[in-house]
Amino acid sequence: MTTRYGDQSAQLKDVRRADPDGQGQWSFCSQQATLRRLDKAFQAFFRRMKAKQAPGYPRFKGAGWFDTVQWPKDRDGCRWNSTPSSQTRVYLQGVGHIRVHAHRKVDGKVKTISVKREGRRWFLILSCDEVPAEPLPDTGNAVGIDMGVAAFLTTSDEVQVANPRHLAASADRLADAQRALARCKSGSMRRRKARARVAGLHATVRRQRLDHVHKTARWLIHHYDVIAHEDLRITNMTRSAAGTLDAPGANVAVKSGLNRSILDAGWGIFLSILAAKAESAGRTIIAVDPRNTSRTCPACGHCAKENRVSQSHFVCVTCGYTAHADVVGAINVLRAGLARQTADAA
């Protein structure tokens, strides 16, 4: 027999009626939203089965794993800014009015409200409709960016944005914490503490990375009308962890896997934040095929692996043009982007 979302939603009504002081006191919409998440997880599971991919059976999320509750519609079991006054509050059915420390102004109309638990902290996540666009004045400038490991990104104007130092430090601490966790006996108090430490460090890394990518994206959006970057879907297939780090010695290799995955994730988040800011500001973002961008000479066009002497040095074997390899990559990305833009406009 198959159980579907419709069956569970119908059953939910009975459950609520039978348990008015327990399940019945919470928001119906929010409980339905949870059932819909479950349905989505199983649909994705069956889709992967069908496609003969690794299916990954949905994990049961007990009280210790279940960290997010959503209210799909403002004013339906929840209300944003429930007591308009000097203090911002949110009303959640069954919980009451809760004070919120809003870290920025809410633009547009609140659509959904989510409450998320991260360790011992609680976060409120709003999604909004009708967010007003804020176009920025034209600058007349275009830029290409090369995303790297040694530096977070390098622009065709020879500006390097470094990876935040504290991010690498957190990544190392995270690696240590994960090793400590692996050594703890399951079910022990030590293990519980070790797990909380890993979770806390993950949250720290996430916040540091978000802060850094927001700042970097804002800077680009303010200075350039057109921003070209490598298409990550292609980049990740053509790059390996070993090939992109400076002299991968013993020390680098041990932690490079984790550091690397943190950086990779950072680029994905960076590009989606950049795209969102660009749309609001009326800027153009172009993703280009990154193949050969690091080995083509910007001066004479000669393309050879030998042009790249080392991780950071580019010397053209034909014309002798010399530059920082990441800058060369960024210049080629910019050219490919502008060529695409011209082709699209024609």
CB 73 within 8 A of CB 30: no
Task: Give the binding range for Zn ion (CB under 5 A) out of 20-28, 101-109, 265-273, 311-319.
Answer: 311-319
Q: Of 76, 230, 289, 344, which one is the catalytic site residue?
A: 230
**Minimum distance of Zn ion from residue 322's CB (angstroms):** 10
Per-position x/- string for 181-200, each x denoting binding to Zn ion as judged by CB under 5 A, each - no binding: --------------------
Binders of Zn ion in range 132-161 (CB under 5 A): none
Q: Which is nearer to Zn ion, 30 or 307 (CB)?
A: 307
CB 128 within 8 A of CB 81: no
- Count of positions on this chain that bind Zn ion (CB under 5 A): 8
Per-position x/- string for 269-298, each x denoting binding to Zn ion as judged by CB under 5 A, each - no binding: ----------------------------x-
**Minimum distance of Zn ion from residue 160's CB (angstroms):** 23
Whether 230 sits among the annotated catalytic residues: the reply is yes
Q: Which is nearer to Zn ion, 299 or 338 (CB)?
A: 299
Give the strand pairing for 313-315 and 160-161: unpaired
Q: Which is nearer to Zn ion, 45 or 321 (CB)?
A: 321
Instruction: Quickly list DSSP for 139-208.
Output: ---EEEEEE-SSSSEEETTS-EEPPPHHHHHHHHHHHHHHHHHHHSPTT-HHHHHHHHHHHHHHHHHHHH
Q: Is 335 in the site for Zn ion (CB under 5 A)?
A: no
Q: Is 302 in the site for Zn ion (CB under 5 A)?
A: yes
Q: How far is CA 296 from the centre of its chain?
A: 31
Tell me the C-alpha distance between 272 and 274, whole Å. Answer: 5
**Minimum distance of Zn ion from residue 46's CB (angstroms):** 54
Task: Give the binding range for Zn ion (CB under 5 A) out of 109-117, 196-204, 310-318, 334-342.
Answer: 310-318
- Binding residue for Zn ion, selected from 106, 162, 300, 339, defined by CB under 5 A: 300
**Minimum distance of Zn ion from residue 301's CB (angstroms):** 7
CA dihedral 6, 9, 11, 13 (to 10 degrees): -140
CB 231 within 8 A of CB 117: no
Q: How far, in Å, are 110, 113, 115, 215 from residue 72 at the CA level?
A: 10, 7, 11, 30
Q: Is 316 in the site for Zn ion (CB under 5 A)?
A: yes
Whether 146 sits among the annotated catalytic residues: the reply is yes
CB 299 within 8 A of CB 316: yes
- For 288, the enclosing helix (H) or strand (E) is strand 284-288
**Minimum distance of Zn ion from residue 315's CB (angstroms):** 9
- For 129, the enclosing helix (H) or strand (E) is strand 121-129
Q: Is 321 in the site for Zn ion (CB under 5 A)?
A: yes
Q: What is the set of active-site residues?
A: 146, 230, 326
Interface with Zn ion (CB under 5 A): 297, 299-300, 302, 316, 318-319, 321
